[in-house]
Amino acid sequence: MTLDLSGKNILVTGGTRGIGRAIVEAANAAGANVAFTYRSSTETAEQLVQALGGDDRALALQADAASADDAAAAVQAVTEKWGTIDGLVVNAGITRDTLMIRMSAEDWQAVLDTNLTGAFHVAKAAYRPMMKQRAGSIVTVSSVVGVMGNAGQANYAASKAGLIGFTKSLARELGGRGVRANVVAPGYIQTDMTADLGDKVTDAMKGQIPLGRLGQPDDIAAATLFLLSDASTYVTGHVLHVDGGMAM
Ligand code: NAD
């Protein structure tokens, strides 16, 4: 079965690079209309819209993931343009890694605000239209670190573990309305976020991964597309680990 997203309107947060961009491109290739948010790179965002087939098929929205107003405006822009919002991918995320002893309250808050409270804002904005449609699929992008914890990432791990409880709660609240909510939990994926780790750390990570290699953004896009598509209509509240076997 090939995944077909024709006729679906999908919003991806943080869509101009890395995993978010791979999801945007894959959803577009599967036939969806795709809106994506970005923080500051307007030129990159406009180039991406053109690469996706122009204004009819794609929509770039400048929005800070940590802002409730921006989230509401982004969801409204999607429903105004295309009528419905069928899929939401909560992907935007940041790290501010350091050991707890050195972690400031600001390091903690910034990561929680973007990664977890940001998910609350955008899912809340999409909640009503999806409920009214009696259909929709929400996918949050957590992390293997949210499942296993990681030294030096207490803030990030807390935000990503929080996303799992949050998403399962959404699945329970919205199931009766035909809206699904699932989590994708990536392992170590080759993007800007992991680019500066250095060979020593990367090799140590590979030792913890049964498949013996880092993942690619397309690995996460494929799993996300499954959860957005009608191939997964009986799947909700699930945490799909895409991590080479790291967190089994
Ligand atoms: P990345 O840094 O390349 O991309 C993150 C994206 O989020 C960027 O487009 C960035 O602009 C956007 N973003 C960050 N803060 C934002 C804000 N306040 N408002 C709007 N957009 C914002 O990283 P990535 O590896 O592509 O990560 C994507 C998601 O996958 C993140 O949630 C990350 O935590 C998660 N993840 C990544 C890995 C990995 O190994 N790369 C592993 C597990 C989970």
CA of 96 to the centre of ligand 1 (A): 12
The answer to whether 189 touches 217, Cβ cutoff 8 Å, is: yes
**For ligand 1, is residue 66 a contact (CB within 6 Å)?**
yes
The amino acid at 183: V
Tokens of 24: 């945007």
Q: Is the CB of 143 under 6 A from ligand 1?
A: yes
Residue ranges and CATH numbers for the domains of the chain are 9-242 (3.40.50.720)
Please choose from 21, 24, 39 the residue to mutate so as to test ligand 1's pocket, defined by most ligand atoms within 8 A of CB: 39
b/e per residue 221-235 (b: at least 16 CB within 10 A): bbbbbbbbbeebeee
156 catalytic? Reply is: yes
Is 0.75 topped by the overall pTM? yes
Q: Return the residue whose CA atom lies nearest to atom 13 of ligand 1.
A: 92
Residue nearest to atom 23 of ligand 1 (CA): 193
In 3D space, the residue among 91, 77, 95, 93 whose CA is nearest the CA of residue 24 turns out to be 91
Q: Give the integer Cα–Cα distance in Å for 120 and 116.
A: 7
Q: Which ligand 1 atom is at minimum distance from the Cα of 95?
A: 34
Does the beta carbon of 229 lie inside 6 Å of ligand 1? no
10 Å CB burial of residue 88 (0-12, 13-18, 19+) is buried
Instruction: Give pLDDT tens digits along the chain (248 positions).
Output: 679 999 999 999 999 999 999 999 999 999 999 999 999 999 999 999 999 999 999 999 999 999 999 999 999 999 999 999 999 999 999 999 999 999 999 999 999 999 999 999 999 999 999 999 999 999 999 999 999 999 999 999 999 999 999 999 999 999 999 999 999 999 999 999 888 888 888 898 899 999 999 999 999 999 999 999 999 999 999 999 999 999 99
Centre of ligand 1 to C-alpha 3, Å, is 24
